[in-house]
Structure 1
């Protein structure tokens, strides 16, 4: 049962990030934006029945997770790019 709970949370997070973490041209200071996204992720997870401790087990701290996601798609010359571009 524990693996199913974790897998459910992991699948939800991957889909949510794909739908919600995008290129924002000109976004240089993304910390506030990541704070907002972290809160939205937690709210969306809870609305799907994924409790905060289950989400934390999948991603750790939601703000740190969002910062990492943005840093992965950042282009030093162009700002942020969408991984699907």
Structure 2
């Protein structure tokens, strides 16, 4: 069962508590499904897609996809574009 993390303070605490120790972590800005996103690669392999939903200039959602079956679409079928700031 999914349990969304709601509220800026709770999201910030969750993000601050994550410790990533990998040899080669890279973040690439992109646009996914019309939203700004970060493509996370570890040792060159697609690991996570983080997408922001923005409403009225504020971040209203942060979504992370790590499911390999869902990410397979990103590897093979989806053309990623760099996200340009307005």
Would you call these one fold, judging by a TM-score over 0.5?
no
The higher relative CO (CA closer than 8 Å, separation ≥ 6) is in 1
Between Structure 1 and Structure 2, which shows a larger proportion of helix residues?
A: 1
TM-score normalised by structure 2 residue count: 0.27
Between Structure 1 and Structure 2, which shows a larger proportion of strand residues?
A: 2
